[in-house]
Structure 1
Amino acid sequence: MPTDETRPSYGGDGKPTSTSFSKDGRGQSEPIPEIKPGSRYIYYRVYTKDGPLESNHPIYLNDRFISRILSSSVKPPQTAASLTRYICKIEGLELRKLALYQSLSDDTALDDSIHLSLRGNTGPGASDLNPMALVVDKHAAEGRSQVTSAVEPQDLLERDYEQRYVYYRVYDDDGEAISKMFFGDNNPSLGRVNTLSVPPPHTVSSLKNRIIKSEDISGHNVQLFEDEGSESAMNDSDALTLLSDTFPGFEEDQPIAITYEPGVKNGSAENEDPTKIQIPELREALAQIKTELEEANLTHTRELEEANRTYARELAEVRERWNNAKETHEREINEALSSLHQLQAQLIVPSIFTKKLKATKDWEMGMVNATWHSLKTGEIFYTDGIIRREKWRNGPNVYDWECYLATNSFGRLAFASKVYTVFC
């Protein structure tokens, strides 16, 4: 496999040039070996909506956000979906909420089924000056893994390129504020972000999200103005040509302005319920789950009534077992009954229980202690994903278990053992 110090380069027309690189990326060195006929490099960058992600396999010392793969690594048929899957594999990313763009300047993501021309010297990602872009869900990126087996280690080069920025000033309610990205001693409110750090599509909204992330803005009603003299803010949907010389904020002495109202971070109202999830995509998903639960309550009344009867029988059985316990364990019995009453009062699934658990083992621990679920392999539960440590009592014996507060398919709320469940 070719190494980085002998990588082919491509001109503006996508054709190979004769430029070669020394180990520091500047001087002349040995001739560049040819890649396998028909195969070429595909250059790409990975982003979340808040900004760029460093590659697991960077090719430059001074730009660790760009990488490349051989086109022959992509499984045929070579569609947007198969290219996305391979990039996610080597970058250790989950396959969820993905958008692949043919170039950084594209406004629309590629359809998964579209066939890509990945052979020859032209086509998507043929140059590091015009790479493809993969935008992923930031939660999928949080659990990314390091993958070293798919790509050979490479000696990193130093990239010789001109850094370009969007310049801006930061304002709160009282006027200009100190920028966390300021770069001049005499201009603390003037900040900048690299244009290559803004994820596609290049709109006012994506630039705003990038600056919010860079400045760690704790506030709401964030707005971008073309300059401090503008009468109204730019629309979030307005397109920006960040790869040209004509976008707002291109020049240092003509920065754009970003304003915000201090308060709870990321646009939350100060008195808003802290249990509500503020990420728009998750809020929409929770609303959908709530709608589905309301429909289920209306259309499956009989199932819910049967669940209540079953739960009542289980409760009666547990009470009978505890009534036969020794007098020395009365305190434990009362605590268990109190917990059961609390669970009974919370039969309807809380709206924040959006994570699915699946039981990996049969275990009748709920028959011994009704504050816990009995588990059946493959059974599905819903939880908020928060790990707890609760006591499980079996007669005189008391054990501490890591668990989740979860509901089963009947809406019953109890603890589910962490060790015998997995997220799905």
Structure 2
Amino acid sequence: MYTLPGDHMPVSSSTPSLDDKRGTNSAAKVGQSTKRTGPSYVYYRLYTKLGPFKSNHPLSYNDRFIGRIPSKSFAPPHTVASIKWSLCKLEGLSEPDKALLFLSLSNPAPKEDTARLSLYAPSGPGLSEQDPIILVVELEKRTKEVLQAEKLPEHSDDTDVHYGKSLYYRVYSSEGGDKKAKTSFDESDISLGRLNTLLIAPPHTAGSLKACITKVEGLVMPGHALYKEMELFQDVNSDAAMGDTDVIPFQGDTYLGSDQGNPVALVNATTDTAADQKVKPMSGKVFSEHPLDTAATNCALSDGPDSNFTKLARLSYTYSE
């Protein structure tokens, strides 16, 4: 058989074969598919143990409970401890060492301080508005003046992603009978309340749900002598109260309190009448023609954005403990 010259010569390593070229092209495509384009941001929600509060760096004017900060603002190493410190400083919050960071609202426990998070990956916790990380702090206490943006983009109307789910409840007074709910929505059943699950601070337990309802309804807060007397039942037909550490998952279509015909029940409720139990602004000025609206809070209580919330204000608040 006739042999062509070079048939038995080794292929030069400097000349890639067809397979090598295919491999190179495939690797390049894989690299392109995982490369993040445009600026990177960290998305987050802020909570105390009683519920959420607004960010100083809101994503949009009609959803100021989601914050967004450029990833480049976070100094390395990107450990949980470092990210907590940066978020607290950028938000003007104190005691970052006491803060807790959850990768999502459904996580049963906070992430360890030594764990590392990737802030420049294509996807992951905190890298999109659909998947924000959660920072839980001891106090919502800001003492420095905050200059808020005058113009922010409007949030997309996607209630499944941004506005949580409805949870129905009834409150029974320590003096007897069911109370009119401050979040009532049905004139024929005014003791039936409804709140958004985004109002419940992680970890999602019976204790955090109880604290959320007490705040929304203006009842005595944790630390009050009568707070421990209040008990949470999973529905009005339950024989025994839930324990504060009982986990309550809100995934799926059916969860505790999802059916308005079978709401959770808070029993032995006591209204907060002591002045020292309430958080009041000590001093404050509104440097705007229009005062800061409460529509952002209403947005969290309802199932969607409030179209009336169109203006922001510049505020200087000092809160008492």
Q: TM-score, normalised by structure 2?
A: 0.66
Please state how far the C-alpha of 1:118 moved relative to its aligned partner: 1.5
Check the 8 A contact 1:42/1:126 in 2, yes or no.
yes
- Higher-strand-fraction structure: 1
Q: 2:155 aligns with which of 153, 158, 161?
A: 158
Q: Residue type of the partner of 1:128?
A: E
CA distance in 2, matches of 1:263, 1:182: 17
Q: Residue type of the partner of 2:230?
A: V
CA distance in 2, matches of 1:73, 1:242: 33
Give 1:188-203 correspondences, 5 Å limit: 188-203=190-205
CA distance in 2, matches of 1:265, 1:204: 24
Aligned equivalent of 1:99? 100
Identity of aligned residues (%): 39
Secondary structure at 1:86 match in 2: helix
Aligned equivalent of 2:7? none
Aligned equivalent of 1:135? 136
The structure-2 alpha-carbon separation of the partners of 1:123 and 1:111, relative to structure 1 and needing over 3 Å to count, comes to same
Higher RCO structure (Cα 8 Å, ≥6 apart)? 2
CA distance in 2, matches of 1:211, 1:175: 17
CA distance in 1, matches of 2:261, 2:143: 39
The structure-2 alpha-carbon separation of the partners of 1:158 and 1:199, relative to structure 1 and needing over 3 Å to count, comes to same
Q: Which has the larger radius of gyration?
A: 1
CA distance in 2, matches of 1:197, 1:246: 18
Deviant stretches of 4+, over 4 Å:
151-154, 263-266
CA distance in 2, matches of 1:41, 1:51: 24
CA distance in 1, matches of 2:251, 2:75: 31
The structure-2 alpha-carbon separation of the partners of 1:125 and 1:181, relative to structure 1 and needing over 3 Å to count, comes to same
Please state how far the C-alpha of 1:47 moved relative to its aligned partner: 0.4
Give 1:35-184 correspondences, 5 Å limit: 35-36=38-39, 40-96=40-96, 97-138=98-139, 141-148=140-147, 155-162=152-159, 163=163, 164-173=165-174, 174-184=176-186
CA distance in 2, matches of 1:265, 1:100: 33
Check the 8 A contact 1:61/1:159 in 2, yes or no.
no
Check the 8 A contact 2:234/2:242 in 1, yes or no.
yes
Q: In the TM superposition, what whole-angstrom CA distance separates every residue of 1:346-382 from its partner, at most 9, and x where no partner exists?
A: xxxxxxxxxxxxxxxxxxxxxxxxxxxxxxxxxxxxx
Aligned equivalent of 1:248? 256
CA distance in 2, matches of 1:127, 1:263: 39
The structure-2 alpha-carbon separation of the partners of 1:243 and 1:56, relative to structure 1 and needing over 3 Å to count, comes to farther
The structure-2 alpha-carbon separation of the partners of 1:207 and 1:102, relative to structure 1 and needing over 3 Å to count, comes to same
**Structure 2: runs of 5 or more not aligned:** 1-32, 221-225, 278-321
- Higher-helix-fraction structure: 1
Q: Residue type of the partner of 2:84?
A: T
Q: Residue type of the partner of 2:231?
A: Q
Secondary structure at 1:175 match in 2: coil
Check the 8 A contact 1:169/1:257 in 2, yes or no.
yes
CA distance in 2, matches of 1:170, 1:87: 36
Q: Residue type of the partner of 1:68?
A: R
CA distance in 2, matches of 1:154, 1:178: 38
Aligned equivalent of 1:19? none
Aligned equivalent of 2:232? 224
Please state how far the C-alpha of 1:227 moved relative to its aligned partner: 0.9
CA distance in 2, matches of 1:82, 1:119: 16
The structure-2 alpha-carbon separation of the partners of 1:146 and 1:256, relative to structure 1 and needing over 3 Å to count, comes to same
Give 1:352-367 correspondences, 5 Å limit: none
Secondary structure at 1:64 match in 2: strand
**Structure 1: runs of 5 or more not aligned:** 1-14, 17-32, 267-273, 279-424
Q: Residue type of the partner of 1:142?
A: K
Q: Residue type of the partner of 2:60?
A: Y
The structure-2 alpha-carbon separation of the partners of 1:87 and 1:55, relative to structure 1 and needing over 3 Å to count, comes to same
The structure-2 alpha-carbon separation of the partners of 1:146 and 1:52, relative to structure 1 and needing over 3 Å to count, comes to farther
The structure-2 alpha-carbon separation of the partners of 1:49 and 1:265, relative to structure 1 and needing over 3 Å to count, comes to farther
Give 1:341-356 correspondences, 5 Å limit: none
Aligned equivalent of 2:312? none
Please state how far the C-alpha of 1:265 moved relative to its aligned partner: 6.3
The structure-2 alpha-carbon separation of the partners of 1:261 and 1:103, relative to structure 1 and needing over 3 Å to count, comes to closer
Please state how far the C-alpha of 1:252 moved relative to its aligned partner: 2.1
Check the 8 A contact 2:218/2:271 in 1, yes or no.
no
Aligned equivalent of 1:206? 208
The structure-2 alpha-carbon separation of the partners of 1:245 and 1:43, relative to structure 1 and needing over 3 Å to count, comes to same
Give 1:14-25 correspondences, 5 Å limit: none
Please state how far the C-alpha of 1:109 moved relative to its aligned partner: 1.1
Q: In the TM superposition, what whole-angstrom CA distance separates every residue of 1:198-235 from its partner, at most 9, and x where no partner exists?
A: 11111110111010000011454111111111101111
